[in-house]
Amino acid sequence: MRFTLSAGLAGLAMSTLLAAPAGAELTGDLRIFFNDQNPAPRAAIEGMVERFQAMHPALNIELTLIDREANKTQIRNYLTANAPDVNGWYAGNRMRPYVAAGLFEDVSDLWDGPMGEDLASTRPALTLDGRQWGVPYTYYQWGIYYRKDIFDELGLSVPTTWEEEKANCAAILASGRKCYTIGTRFLWTAGGWFDYINLRTHGYDFHMALTAGEIPWTDERVRQTFANWRELIDMGAFIDDHTAYTWQEAQPFLVNGQATAYLMGNFLVAPLREAGLTDDQLGFYQFPEITPGIPKAEDAPTDTLHIPAQARNKDAARAFLLYVASAENQTIVNEVLGQLPINRNATVADDKFIQAGFEMLSNATGGIAQFFDRDTDAEMASAGMQGFQEFMVMPDNLDAILQNLERVRQRVNSR
Amino acid sequence: MQRAEARRGWWARNQQRLAPWLFLAPGIAFFAVYVIVPIFQSFQISLFRWDGLGEARFIGLENYRELLDDRAFYVSLRNNVKWLVLYLLAIPAGLFIALFLNQQVRGIRLYKSLFFFPFVISQVVVGLVFAWFYNPAIGLWNPLIGLFGFSPMNVLGNPNTVTYGIIAAGLWPQIAYCMILYLTGLNAVDPEQVEAARLDGARGWRMLWYVILPQLRPATFIAVVVTVIGALRSFDMISVMTNGGPFGSSRVLAYYMFEVSLSEYGFRMGYGAAIAVVLFLIMMVYIAFFLWRMWREERGY
């Protein structure tokens, strides 16, 4: 199946090669460091490389797969010494340390061409200091994945407001279950809850100003966000002992029906299906409204490819990024990944959750945020998510937590 | 031969004096490059604000001033003390297991190997096994304490218990190590002295305290050294079991240094270096004591 697909595409690629602009004759080595070894992303990047290779037979492409977590620390080493020609990373503020240190190549020239129009929706996420520093290949929605069968059993309908959400939760708790599963051992899951409650309480502009460090953490509006969050915590809505679990270890609570919902990114769907949940049992809904009338904004993290400033074969790297951005490639890659393409001419896979995400994000009039740890400064992200975890366990510590975050914010801003 | 003796060159004259230095040279060179020089580099970096990538900016003692009112720093320091004190329990525990195993029974070698086994496994594996053991959803710990009527605990997710949970995991291999040190020590105990003491009516605790233990002094000394070092490099267990969490309550200084300067969100090389310097100064106290004792013993008490 995959073979015939790529063989067919190779043929297609050959025909596009003939039509490609002059100077497309690429030679030499192209070294790619990709930041995921999981089966789906691996198949996706390998497919990309295979098709690009077919277009440029004279090019010697060398693909290295790095573990997702390991890459987050290794990137500093390989960008400063022995850089590859293309490397995987994330959009938003997480690019900043490398952009500021001059380690990423400015690829605004690619964005000035037709590619920029095809990818227009993510241009802000790839822009720092007025220029673009990479090319996105996929993104995915966040939202609430819930047990439809249990909702039906309890006679609950999908909530659209905060009051309904809490009423549902009360009914779920009364049935002896927990409302939400979560594993905060690696902290970022709590960042998702903060993002959504803050986005729904005060809207996109406030959230972005806060994550950009322009608003004090001790601001009354920030306290309002935490007060809303606390309503759920005080109800006992989250599973017990979540500090001990990773996001994967929190899945069985949903699969076994001990908890009924999980606020997570769309990558949750694949493991849940593997664990035996059918599409009839699993549903998806958008995080409900909290403050009425605020346009809904969503978290939709974007994964990206970049050219290190020290890359040796930048021509080939640019050609590769152009191919990565193309509608044809984004359709195939996101079919494999089970995620959303960014190129507006690409086709969205025929899958219940991907379609739901596509529709939700197309109507996200409030705006698209990346994620707490991609929108904030790295140091702020670390301190913030630790604070969120502490808050979820000891909500009474809020004052101390916010003072600490404010101290970090002032230090980050004084740089 | 004789002609060579006659015109003894510079090399031949100094051979005796130079040979030890030549043999030591590779060791000294590597020790200097990888240990001594980085110590001074840490001092230097701790005076800068630097993200490890771009320009470093000199800020004097600002990093140290900040350490003084950093809540996380004191939590880490307190945990370091807990580690140092509780880890020393490995020494008496190892001694008693060694005494217990120091007998001639059929198959004793097998028992000794089984007791030594935890030390053979990598620290990372020990950490993983204990993390599963403590896991409130699937671990054996909660059913186990349930047998004694205790209510379930979230050992690694509770800021009050997490450090003790990790130390317990660390003690498991450390006790085995101390046990092996004492087992070899017990082989060297003079049977005639034991015999003489027995004739004088020494039994049980008095025998242990006044006859056996003094003869185990070298083993005890080594056990203290390796245990203190083990406590101070407790980094890997913490990294595997909790990542310093929940919300930083299981960090020690070494882990905190890693977190602020090298981890996923850590870009503060200067601050990390300042923590390293503090840790180094704390270790200096211990190293000085160690060197002083060595020196005293070399002189023959």
Tell me the per-residue pLDDT of A27-68, one tens digit each, with 9 for 90 and over: 899 999 999 988 889 999 999 999 999 999 999 999 999 998
Show residues of chain B in contact with A101, CB under 8 Å.
51, 53-54
Banded model confidence at residue B191, pLDDT cuts 50, 70, 90: confident
Query: Measured between CB atoms, does A240 come within 8 Å of chain B?
Result: yes
Q: Which domain does B8 fall in, by range?
A: 2-45
**Contact residues, A window 299-328, toward B, CB-based 8 Å cutoff:** none
pLDDT for the residue B107? 87
Contact B157 A244 (CB under 8 A): yes
Banded model confidence at residue B7, pLDDT cuts 50, 70, 90: low
Banded model confidence at residue A20, pLDDT cuts 50, 70, 90: very low
Query: Measured between CB atoms, does A372 come within 8 Å of chain B?
Result: no
Q: What value does the mean pLDDT take over residues A376-386?
A: 92
Q: Tell whether B208 and B293 lie within a shared domain.
A: yes
- Residue of chain B nearest A93, judged by CA positions: B265
Q: Tell whether B286 and B151 lie within a shared domain.
A: yes
CA-wise closest residue to A196 among A337, A69, A294:
A294
d(CA A85, CA A107): 13
Contact A378 B266 (CB under 8 A): yes
Domain presence at residue B119: yes
3-state secondary structure of B48: strand
d(CA A208, CA A143): 19
Q: Tell whether B75 and B182 lie within a shared domain.
A: yes
Mean pLDDT of chain B: 89
Looking at 2.30.40.10, 3.40.50.720, 3.40.190.10, 3.30.70.2740, the CATH number of the domain A2-138+302-345 comes to 3.40.190.10
Residue B247 Cα, gap to closest chain A Cα (Å): 5
Banded model confidence at residue B30, pLDDT cuts 50, 70, 90: very high
Q: Tell whether B29 and B123 lie within a shared domain.
A: no
Banded model confidence at residue A14, pLDDT cuts 50, 70, 90: very low
Show residues of chain B in contact with A404, CB under 8 Å.
71
pLDDT at B299 over 90: no
pLDDT for the residue B267? 86
| Ramachandran angles phi, psi of A45, nearest 5° | -70, -35
Pick the residue of B240, B265, B267, B271 with the most A CBs within 10 A to test the interface with A by mutation.
Answer: B265
Domain residue extents for chain A = 2-138+302-345, 142-299+365-413
Q: Tell whether B100 and B244 lie within a shared domain.
A: yes
Q: Letter for the amino acid at B275? A: I
Please tell me if the domain spanning A2-138+302-345 has the same topology as the one spanning A142-299+365-413. yes
Domain presence at residue B130: yes
**Residue B162 CB-density burial (10 A; 0-12 exposed, 13-18 middle, 19+ buried):** buried
pLDDT for the residue A242? 94
pLDDT at B281 over 60: yes
Token pair 């605020």: residue: A294
Contact B246 A243 (CB under 8 A): yes
Number of structural domains (chain B) is: 2
Among the partner-chain residues A79, A103, A393, the one whose CB lies closest to the CB of B246 is: A393
Q: Tell whether B32 and B146 lie within a shared domain.
A: no
- Distances in Å between the Cα of B136 and the Cα atoms of A208, B65, B131, B133, B176 are 37, 40, 10, 8, 27
Tell me the per-residue pLDDT of B211-221, one tens digit each, with 9 for 90 and over: 889 899 889 98
Show residues of chain A in contact with B263, CB under 8 Å.
73, 382
d(CA A305, CA A133): 9
pLDDT at B53 over 90: no
Query: Measured between CB atoms, does A213 come within 8 Å of chain B?
Result: no
d(CA A371, CA B252): 29
Domain presence at residue B63: no
Query: Measured between CB atoms, does A239 come within 8 Å of chain B?
Result: no
Superfamily of chain region A142-299+365-413: Periplasmic binding protein-like II (3.40.190.10)
Q: What value does the mean pLDDT take over residues B289-294?
A: 84
Q: What is the pTM of this model?
A: 0.86
pLDDT for the residue A5? 42
Banded model confidence at residue B65, pLDDT cuts 50, 70, 90: very high
pLDDT for the residue A35? 93
pLDDT for the residue B71? 87
**Residue A371 CB-density burial (10 A; 0-12 exposed, 13-18 middle, 19+ buried):** buried
d(CA B200, CA A328): 94
Tell me the per-residue pLDDT of A320-379, one tens digit each, with 9 for 90 and over: 999 999 999 999 999 988 899 999 899 998 899 999 999 998 888 888 899 999 999 888
pLDDT for the residue B294? 81
Assess contact for A202 and A225: CB atoms under 8 A.
yes
pLDDT for the residue A21? 45
Show residues of chain B in contact with A381, CB under 8 Å.
265
Q: What ipTM was predicted for this assembly?
A: 0.84
Domain presence at residue B61: no
Domain presence at residue B55: no
Q: Tell whether B21 and B110 lie within a shared domain.
A: no
Q: How many CB atoms lie within 10 A of CB A26?
A: 21
Q: State how beta strands B48-49 and A178-180 pair.
A: unpaired
Lowest-pLDDT choice from A3-7, A34-38, A149-153, B35-39 = A3-7
pLDDT at B34 over 60: yes
The neighbouring-strand residues paired with A32 are: A63, A86
Task: Give percent above pLDDT 90 in chain B.
Answer: 52
Tell me the per-residue pLDDT of A240-272, one tens digit each, with 9 for 90 and over: 999 999 899 999 999 999 999 999 999 899 889
